[in-house]
């Protein structure tokens, strides 16, 4: 019996060893496949901790999911061109807005899709294309998209009436405002390159368009590669690293800095149109910064050569009541633009400007 037990035990042992070797080989193969799929360089991988740290402010929202913009191999750059190409496809294009051969000024207004009344007020006041007979001005509203089809139908109907909406294929959110800048740049570069000047405003801003046409444009008529804005000089604005703030900028953006480089406060900006093709090109594959003023009028602009800045900080205000009083002074008013976030303040400021215009006539 002992002579039979030893061969039997030996065969069983060999089988166990064989199956263990096969199992280990299979585990190795699957681990190898997974490693190849993720990349073999441990430094290039993004850990769950990385995703948790940055997810709040480096997301681009889509219909049913959220695409995370991950750090690229270059530690200081986020390369997201495939995401930008996907989300800046246009749902509404209106390519014929700039059909004239000559356009003096194209104004693009970044607007939340839900702000229908604000857009109505703007169309009835300072962005009315028919205010001037000798200056050709066009405008477009840059919108994201809502979360449901009934609201999209409302936007489509608004556009059927006014034909002045450009809509990107991304959900409205604060972190996606930078995408609106990219949409605007590329749309103007493709469809309105004949414009002499480009202005950007938010939908809660009032602009004295008469002062823009009669004073500001003539002052830059013969200039090239210039931007007119409220300038925040280099190292004067702290970088917000608080993850709870909507102005949060992650550590890998502007590393080793505590303050921002020079940029423009973006609620009203005017630039010579020769900068647009270069800015549009610079946006291709650029680092994505979820604060649009810092991205477009800071980071991208700093990448260009020989740009002239004209600071109009003293000609802008966020004090709405001060603006109402100042606009009423007509030609003695120094203001070009003001925040008008309260109900009816765009209409009130417009009334003051029109009254002052009539009063100043000889």
Per-residue pLDDT of the chain in tens (362 residues, 90 and over written 9): 444 445 555 566 566 656 676 666 665 655 554 443 443 343 333 333 333 343 333 333 333 333 333 333 333 333 345 556 656 689 999 999 999 999 999 999 999 999 999 999 999 999 999 999 999 999 999 999 999 999 999 999 999 999 999 999 999 988 889 999 999 999 999 999 999 999 999 999 999 999 999 999 999 999 999 999 999 999 999 999 998 898 899 898 999 999 999 999 999 999 999 999 999 999 887 888 989 999 999 999 999 999 999 999 999 999 999 999 999 888 789 999 999 998 899 999 999 999 988 876 66
pLDDT in tens, 102-160: 999 999 999 999 999 999 999 999 999 999 999 999 999 999 999 999 999 999 999 99
Q: Where are the beta strands (DSSP E) in 189-272?
A: 195-202, 205-207, 226-232, 263-272
With tokens 């009344």, the residue in question is 117
Paired residues of 231 in beta bridges: 264
Residue count of the chain: 362
- Residue 246 CA, chain-centre distance (Å), reads 14
Sign of the C-alpha dihedral computed for residues 194, 200, 203 and 209 taken in this order? negative
Sign of the C-alpha dihedral computed for residues 101, 275, 60 and 82 taken in this order? positive
Alpha helices for the chain (secondary structure H): 2-38, 48-54, 81-87, 116-124, 149-162, 177-191, 209-211, 217-220, 276-282, 292-294, 301-302, 320-327, 345-360
pLDDT of residue 238: 95
Three-state secondary-structure class, residue 66: strand
> Cβ of 280: how many Cβ atoms within 10 Å?
18
What six digits make up the tokens of 49? Answer: 């901790």
Q: What are the counts of helices (DSSP H) followed by strands (DSSP E) for the chain?
A: 13, 13
Paired residues of 227 in beta bridges: 271, 309
Euclidean distance between CA atoms 159 and 146, whole angstroms: 15
Which of 258, 294, 301 is closest to 278 using CA atoms? 301
What six digits make up the tokens of 159? Answer: 């556009």
Its pTM stands at 0.78
* Structural element, H or E, at residue 137: strand 137-145
Averaged pLDDT score across all residues of the chain: 83
**C-beta separation of 97 from 138 below 8 A:** yes
What six digits make up the tokens of 264? Answer: 């423009």
> Cβ of 23: how many Cβ atoms within 10 Å?
10
DSSP code, position 167: E
Phi, psi of 268 (to 5 degrees): -150, 125
Which of 106, 198, 96, 111 is closest to 158 using CA atoms? 111
Three-state secondary-structure class, residue 173: coil
Residues with Cβ within 8 Å of 111's Cβ and at least 6 positions away in sequence, in order, are 118, 119, 141, 142, 143, 202, 203
Three-state secondary-structure class, residue 45: coil
Sign of the C-alpha dihedral computed for residues 325, 328, 332 and 337 taken in this order? positive
pLDDT of residue 357: 85
By DSSP bridging, strand 226-232 and strand 263-272 are antiparallel
DSSP code, position 224: -
What six digits make up the tokens of 141? Answer: 């509203």
pLDDT of residue 287: 85
């Amino acid at each position: 019996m002992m002579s039979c037990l030893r061969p039997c035990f030996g065969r069983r042992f060999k089988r166990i060893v064989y199956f263990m070797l096969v199992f280990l080989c299979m585990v190795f193969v699957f681990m190898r496949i997974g490693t190849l799929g993720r990349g073999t360089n441990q430094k290039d991988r993004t850990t769950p901790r990385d995703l948790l740290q940055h997810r709040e402010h480096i997301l681009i929202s889509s219909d049913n999911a959220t695409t995370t913009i991950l750090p690229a191999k270059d530690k200081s750059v986020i390369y997201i061109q495939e995401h930008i190409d996907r989300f800046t496809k246009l749902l509404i294009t209106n390519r014929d807005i700039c059909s004239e051969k000559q356009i003096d000024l194209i104004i693009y207004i970044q607007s939340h899709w839900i702000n229908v009344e604000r857009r109505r007020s703007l169309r009835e006041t300072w962005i009315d294309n028919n205010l001037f007979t000798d200056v050709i001005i066009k405008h477009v509203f840059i919108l994201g998209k809502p979360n449901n089809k009934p609201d999209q139908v409302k936007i489509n109907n608004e556009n059927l009436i006014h034909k002045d909406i450009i809509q990107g294929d991304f959900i409205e959110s604060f972190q996606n405002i930078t995408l609106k800048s990219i949409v605007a740049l590329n749309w103007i570069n493709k469809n309105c390159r004949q414009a002499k000047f480009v202005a950007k405003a938010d939908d809660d801003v009032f602009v004295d368009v008469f002062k823009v046409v009669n004073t500001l444009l003539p002052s830059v008529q013969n200039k090239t590669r210039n931007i007119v804005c409220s300038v925040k000089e280099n190292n004067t604005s702290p970088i917000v690293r608080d993850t709870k703030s909507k102005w949060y900028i992650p550590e890998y953006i502007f590393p080793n800095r505590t303050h921002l480089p020079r940029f423009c406060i973006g609620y009203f900006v005017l630039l010579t149109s020769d900068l647009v093709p270069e800015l549009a090109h610079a946006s291709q594959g650029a680092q994505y910064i979820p604060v649009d003023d810092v991205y477009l009028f800071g980071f991208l602009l700093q990448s260009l050569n020989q740009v002239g800045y004209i600071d109009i900080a003293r000609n802008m205000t966020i004090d709405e009541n001060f603006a109402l009083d100042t606009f009423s002074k007509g030609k003695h008013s120094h203001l070009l633009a003001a925040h008008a976030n309260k109900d009816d303040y765009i209409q009130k400021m417009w009334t003051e400007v029109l009254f002052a215009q009539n009063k100043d006539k000889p």
